């Protein structure tokens, strides 16, 4: 069969995967958004269904006023003796921790902290022992992939932290994962930074603590030399063996806007690439070491059909799975119903590293029509295309002493500009429409049977290459102003 990449679209970076029985489970980073660590399941590695989040309570994760692209970094999911573990880093507080559950559809535990620095932690279980690994500096001050043994019940270190591999010499050695395959220990990692030079590398050895022999043809997977190709920055992967014994790599990558538009604004996404072992136990990945948009493979049954959801509405999404908040929400300001959303604004704006009244869904593709009906009682409310507090585009309705106005506002770094506004008089209701393409957003007001074009803006100013950071555009619904009150209905995001 043929399948298309990415297999999970939109801002779902740093994927990690495990398999229990015939079911695969996957987690991703969530940075400053809450709930933390989206959790997916699949039967075929192609079609993924979000079943929840790992971090759903304030007691599990400190996100108050964390910096954008801070918060929850690269998680790892593993299962040991029937129990699921998810380990991650709060990069803002510099704490590594894990949570666990015996019910993948239920709540996860309170965090168990591990006194080892660095980021991108990994858990490996063997013969009743638990090894904790990440990238950082060991107890002797040596950098690299750092490992210690821990007590899984308490998180206490049972051995000192020791640097076991320094990689191949590329910058930003990160994302380590350990596997035992046919008696050998394989250490998969990433180098090059999670951008255009990203790459997956690996080594193997006879002991879990090394020494490790580097794969002669590293990097095993990278698109760094594919100039102009849509998929870039592949790396930060996790190996998984399917039910038929085939190996795959689940990894991140991003889609740049166009052949020569070297920007990305949808965030880092989830890709699937075949892995093949040779007779000597070394493996290769992808199409000549690259990830492509479409793989044709006999590893998947022709009965498997890759399905893609094209339309997202209030009615066909779930508030606690598909939607997210900026940092820890003030829940009394949200009334979430099956076909309607009511927001109460505060004096906290989207320009602050705080928690404004905001609930959003990830933009999953370039071409889309986003629309909703808005009824505003007081203050300001609307749709925002949000990258971070310094980079977002707003299509909003505002009430002032003269009545109501609709406005198009662009926030690009230190430049905050109302590009266009239009009086609505005493009419407090509006249909807001954003038409998205790979390189532009167009802002529209629909009123009195007329589609009024208010203006447009380039998507590249909401890209990571301009804004910085590790997230992607979130389609947010927001309200602002003390006493503001807004009702949203008929929300729809349709991908073309």
| Whole-angstrom distance, CA of residue 52 vs CA of residue 434 | 28
Residue 349: exposed, middle, or buried by beta-carbon count in 10 A (0-12, 13-18, 19+)? middle
Closest among 489, 480, 485 to 357, alpha carbons compared = 480
Residue 255 token pair: 């889609």
* Alpha-carbon dihedral sign for residues 301, 303, 309, 310: positive
DSSP 7-76: SB-SS--S-EEEEETTEEEEE---BTEESEEEEEEESSSSS-EEEEEEE-SGGG---TTPPTT-SEEEEE
Contact between 29 and 10 (Cβ < 8 Å): no
Q: Strand, helix or coil at 331?
A: helix
Looking only at the bridges linking them, the beta strands covering 283-285 and 269-277 are antiparallel
Question: How, if at all, do strands 294-296 and 311-313 pair?
Answer: unpaired
Tokens of 254: 């991003």
3-state secondary structure of 462: helix
- The pair of structure tokens assigned to 182 is 């046919």
Of 91, 122, 138, 174, which residue is the catalytic one? 174
- How far apart (Å, rounded) are the C-alpha atoms in residues 496 and 491? 16
- Provide the CA 216 distance to its chain's centre, in angstroms: 32
Query: Computed over its alpha carbons, how large is the radius of gyration of the chain?
Result: 23
Structure letter (DSSP) for residue 353: S
Cα separation of 201 and 206, whole Å?
A: 18
14 is catalytic: yes
Nearest to 236 by CA among 204, 292, 190: 190
With beta carbons less than 8 A apart as the criterion, state whether 140 and 196 touch: no
> Whose CA is closest to 97, among 43, 41, 154, 142?
154
Give CA–CA dist 32/62, Å, rounded. Answer: 10
CA distances (Å), 249 to each of 176, 252, 297, in order? 13, 10, 14
Catalytic residue numbers? 14, 174
């Amino acid at each position: 069969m043929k399948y298309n990449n990415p297999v999970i679209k939109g801002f779902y970076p740093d994927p990690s995967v495990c398999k229990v029985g015939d079911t695969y489970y996957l987690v991703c980073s969530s940075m400053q958004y809450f709930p933390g660590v989206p959790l997916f399941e699949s039967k075929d590695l192609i079609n993924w269904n979000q079943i929840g989040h790992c971090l759903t309570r304030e007691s599990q994760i400190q996100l108050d006023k964390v910096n954008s692209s801070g918060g929850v970094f690269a998680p790892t999911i593993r299962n040991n003796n029937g129990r699921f573990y998810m380990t991650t880093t709060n990069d803002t507080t510099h704490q590594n921790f894990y949570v666990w559950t015996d019910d993948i559809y239920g709540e996860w535990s309170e965090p168990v902290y591990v006194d080892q620095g660095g980021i991108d932690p990994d858990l490996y279980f063997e013969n009743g022992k638990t090894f904790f690994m990440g990238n950082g500096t060991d107890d002797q001050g040596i950098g690299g992939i750092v490992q210690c043994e821990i007590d899984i019940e308490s998180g206490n270190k049972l051995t000192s932290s020791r640097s076991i591999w320094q990689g191949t010499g590329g910058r930003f050695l990160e994302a380590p994962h350990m596997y035992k395959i046919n008696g050998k220990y394989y250490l998969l990692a990433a180098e090059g930074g999670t951008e255009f030079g990203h790459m997956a590398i690996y080594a193997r050895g006879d002991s879990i603590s090394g020494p490790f022999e580097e794969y002669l043809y590293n990097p095993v997977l990278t698109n760094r030399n594919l100039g102009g190709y849509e998929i870039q920055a592949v790396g930060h992967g996790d190996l998984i063996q399917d039910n038929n014994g085939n190996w795959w790599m689940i990894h991140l990558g991003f889609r740049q806007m166009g052949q020569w538009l070297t920007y990305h604004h949808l965030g880092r996404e989830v890709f699937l690439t075949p892995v093949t072992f040779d007779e000597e136990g070394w493996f290769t990945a992808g199409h000549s070491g690259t990830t492509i948009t479409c793989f044709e493979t006999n590893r998947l049954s022709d009965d498997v059909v890759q399905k893609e959801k094209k339309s997202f509405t209030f009615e066909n999404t779930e508030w606690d799975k598909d939607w997210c908040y900026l940092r820890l929400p003030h829940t009394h300001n949200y009334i979430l119903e099956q076909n309607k959303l009511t927001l109460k604004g505060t004096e906290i704006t989207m320009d602050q590293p705080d928690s404004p009244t905001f609930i959003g869904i990830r933009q999953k593709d370039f071409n889309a029509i986003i629309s909703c009906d808005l009824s505003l009682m007081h203050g300001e409310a609307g749709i925002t295309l949000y990258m971070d507090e310094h980079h977002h585009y707003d299509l909003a309705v505002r009430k002032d002493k003269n009545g109501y106005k609709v406005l198009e506002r662009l926030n690009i770094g230190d430049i905050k500009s109302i590009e266009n506004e239009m009086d609505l008089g005493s009419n407090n209701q509006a249909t807001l429409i954003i038409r998205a393409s790979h390189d532009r957003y167009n802002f529209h007001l629909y009123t009195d049977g007329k589609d009024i074009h208010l203006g447009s803006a380039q998507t590249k100013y909401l890209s990571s290459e301009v804004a910085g950071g590790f997230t992607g555009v979130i389609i947010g619904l927001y309200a602002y102003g003390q006493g503001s009150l807004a009702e949203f209905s008929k929300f729809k995001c349709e991908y073309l």
